[in-house]
Structure 1
Amino acid sequence: MVVCMGAGLAALSPSAVRPKPLKLTKAWETDTTLRTPESVLFDGKNTLYVANIDGKPDGLDGNGFISKVSLSGKIENLHWTSGLNAPKGMGIYKHLLYVADVYRLVAINIATGQAEKTWDAIGKGAFLNDVTVDKDGTVYVSDNRSDKLYRLKDEKWELLIDGGGLNSPNGVLATRKGELMIGSTKIGALCRLDLNTQTATPIADGMGNTDGIVSDGKGNYFVSDWNGRIFHIDADGTKEQLLDTRADKVNSADIEYVVKKKLLVVPTFYKNSLVAYKVE
């Protein structure tokens, strides 16, 4: 049974102090024409895709859309594709953009912006949240409210883990074959999940409403707390808080990190913008 717990992590954090703490310096902010941006994804070239809920996070209203934003913060195509419900996490493999859209996973053709296929969650009350794709093209999708993890492999859609103690999984990140990093919102923890044994190992906790997880390109991670904080987590569990915008009521939703530019991009949710920071 998978159990991602947040207790007893002190032993995981070494006593060594980071020689030079990381620092975030604001690089740019978009205008506010975005509509409840929940997640942002870099295409590996020049474009940031942004999932806009534009309504209630679980609303089946067709108002949701995907925007295209440049790496300098210019909104190049606000409604690149529309007709979604409340789109959240995204992942890319070859010519397809996979989007979690409340009760379904949608595959959008990047060349046309048109949906090619959809896969529905199993059972009622689904709340698909984040998406990650491994190097082989296997897609993993978290269900935050139903404590489930789905997998799309070789066109086969399956419920991989059901009620396995993931403690409301939100952010998911494929790091290597057979392994995922999972953010559990219920306990504010980051866990490493071995898919072969379905064993979860806690890495760090105390991060509130954990949301996005991205690699820093060096084997460590940036993790967002939806309430307005950003953390850097070393592979050994050492945690460093880099940003706290809770006092200003600015959320930090599903983040992205552009390694080559050392650029951390944060969707502000209700503030309707993206804010980008240089990591120094």
Structure 2
Amino acid sequence: MKKILKYTLPALMAFMVQGAFAQTHQLEKLWETDTVVRIPESVLPDFKKKILYVSEIEGNPSAVDGKGGVAKIGLDGKIIDLNFTTGLNSPKGLGRVEDQLCAADLSEVVVIDIKTGKVINKIPVDSAKMLNDITVDSKGIVYVSDSKTKKIHRIEKGQVTTFLTNVNGVNGLKAINDDLYILGGPKFMKADSKGNLTQITTLSCGGDGLEPVGNGDFLITCGSGHIFYVTADGKIETLLDSEAQKMNTADLGYDTVNHILYVPTFFGKKVAAYKLITR
């Protein structure tokens, strides 16, 4: 979800340090949709079916208004169905457990039949105010962040527990093996299975989405319109700065085989695709 954060001293220092490393990656734009996607926040690819599932907020990002949903877009950018799932409130992060989609929808995780788009279950998260990103580990355990309460919750077999608390600005999550990678404001961190945190690096803005490149490195977005390449040891390259154009870059999807990023632009109401090029 888009956030506006003031730079802290560590963030400013990180921004200055970025220029000290040689730029070895860049983006080539492949396509973008028209402005028809209703406030897209998250993209979840299904490469076998050549489909992008895209959460659509539609109305106020904090409103319980029933205007939100999930769209289907082709890997080529062609619109398949903007109303695949309807009747949600403000869906943000998307995850998948077998043949079910999971959508973070303010105070509950909505479970959707991936074949029909129909809602089949809703899992309320006690005291949740702004559920944001979702990730699913290899065991089918769901992790979901709550940006307003600063918590990360864990859902296993429909049962909700709290995994971490007091994570300032918590947003993007990615489960890899036994670790959970976390974006908390400008901080990029890793938590082990017991919740012990290790900071990897500090961004120049509040992190939104993150996807592993496949070699220990990550692609990270900020809602301010930035896309970064972050190495395993915390070095940062700026791949895109579209802040002046007000193109908010939200929770991206990534194709590790073809090296393509799929980026929702939030209030820009588009989804864009970029090729990651290594020089």
- Under a length normalisation based on structure 2, what TM-score does the superposition of the two structures give? 0.90
Question: Which of 225, 229, 236 is equivalent to 1:228?
Answer: 225
Question: Which of 58, 83, 103 is equivalent to 1:54?
Answer: 58
Shift in Å, 1:154 = 2.6
Distance in 2 separating the partners of 1:93 and 1:44: 15
Query: What corresponds to 1:263 in structure 2?
Result: 260
1:72–1:150 distance in 2 versus 1, CA, 3 Å: same
Matches within 5 A, 1:237-252: 237-252=234-249
Mean CA deviation greater in 198-207 or 95-104? 198-207
Query: What corresponds to 2:175 in structure 1?
Result: 174
Question: Which of 89, 104, 107 is equivalent to 1:103?
Answer: 107
- Under a length normalisation based on structure 1, what TM-score does the superposition of the two structures give? 0.90
Secondary structure at 1:165's aligned position in 2?
coil
Aligned length: 266
Secondary structure at 1:88's aligned position in 2?
strand
- 1:30-51: CA deviation from partner (whole Å, max 9, x where unpaired): 1211111111111232110000
Query: What corresponds to 2:166 in structure 1?
Result: 165
Secondary structure at 2:133's aligned position in 1?
strand
Give the conservation status (yes or no) of the 8 Å contact 1:256–1:266: yes
Give the conservation status (yes or no) of the 8 Å contact 1:122–1:159: no
5+ long unaligned stretches in structure 2: 1-7
Distance in 1 separating the partners of 2:47 and 2:251: 17
Shift in Å, 1:15 = 12
Amino acid at match of 1:111: K
Give the conservation status (yes or no) of the 8 Å contact 1:230–1:242: yes
Shift in Å, 1:53 = 0.3
Q: Does 1:149 align with 2:152?
A: yes
**Identity within the alignment, %:** 37
Query: What corresponds to 2:204 in structure 1?
Result: 207
1:85–1:6 distance in 2 versus 1, CA, 3 Å: farther
Mean CA deviation greater in 95-104 or 253-262? 253-262
Distance in 2 separating the partners of 1:158 and 1:96: 21
Give the conservation status (yes or no) of the 8 Å contact 1:6–1:202: no
Give the conservation status (yes or no) of the 8 Å contact 2:18–2:237: no
1:47–1:208 distance in 2 versus 1, CA, 3 Å: same
5+ long unaligned stretches in structure 1: none
Moved >4 Å (runs of 4+): 5-10, 13-18
Give the conservation status (yes or no) of the 8 Å contact 1:189–1:207: no
Give the conservation status (yes or no) of the 8 Å contact 2:151–2:166: no
Matches within 5 A, 1:85-96: 85-96=89-100
1:15–1:62 distance in 2 versus 1, CA, 3 Å: closer
